[in-house]
Amino acid sequence: MTRAVVLRAVLTSATLVLVLSACDSKVGGTPQAANTPSGSASPTKPSGTGDNPFTGLSPCTIIDQVMAGEGFPAAAPGTVDRERSCASNKPGDANVGVALQDNTGYDQGIPDPSKASRGHVGARNAIIERGSIGAAGQCTISIEVKPNSRALVSVSGNDTTEQACDRVTAIAVKVEKLLPPNT
């Protein structure tokens, strides 16, 4: 592995660790709605049961579906929270990660609220974190799924933070369509 590939994998893992373990906080600042209209839901999308809306969903399958045709290898479970997170790394391009977290609200565990802003992905509430771990080319979106669950979508790579945020927003729109209803 090249140093850049290892660094990207470490940064993605560190982002997920920070998001999973950071103190709860509300995000301040000016809301910024993303221009991300939601399309119709996939007819084959499984729905959650019981308390976990993600029952039957795999974050690896979600990454593989949304990154199909872009040259990314099959997603693999993350080093942190292997049961609920996956990532795919395309050397020289980017590392894309998805985590499906029940029992954690979309607005909880924001590592640096000063780098976060509220918006929407489709009709769902969301928070975008720009370079939350202090690394250029890194951006994460937390999407609300039911009142107390979320899907995290992250991108880290060779681009600027703004380019990473544009890219993660486009990926999050695709991910949102595969998530269970927010009701």
What residue ranges do the domains of the chain occupy? 3-176
Q: Is the pTM of this model over 0.75?
A: no
The residue among 112, 102, 95 whose CA lies nearest residue 155 is 95
pLDDT reading at 155 higher than 70? yes
> CB atoms < 10 A from the CB of 32, how many?
10
The residues with which 97 forms a beta bridge, in sequence order, are: 87, 154
Question: How much is the average pLDDT of 131-156?
Answer: 90
CA distance 100 to 84: 5
Q: CB neighbours (10 Å) of residue 115?
A: 19
Q: Give tens-digit pLDDT for 88-117.
A: 999 999 999 999 999 999 999 988 888 999
Contacts 24+ apart (CB under 8 A), 72-78: 72/96, 78/12, 78/13, 78/16
Closest CA relative to residue 95, chosen from 111, 81, 107, 79: 79
Q: E-assigned strands of 37-106?
A: 76-77, 85-90, 94-102
* Residue 30 structure tokens: 């000016």
C-alpha separations of 102 from 20, 42, 52, 111, 130 in Å: 11, 21, 6, 18, 23
Do the Cβ atoms of 126 and 83 come closer than 8 Å?
no
Q: What is the pLDDT of residues 39-80, one digit of tens each?
A: 333 333 333 446 899 999 999 999 999 999 999 999 999 888
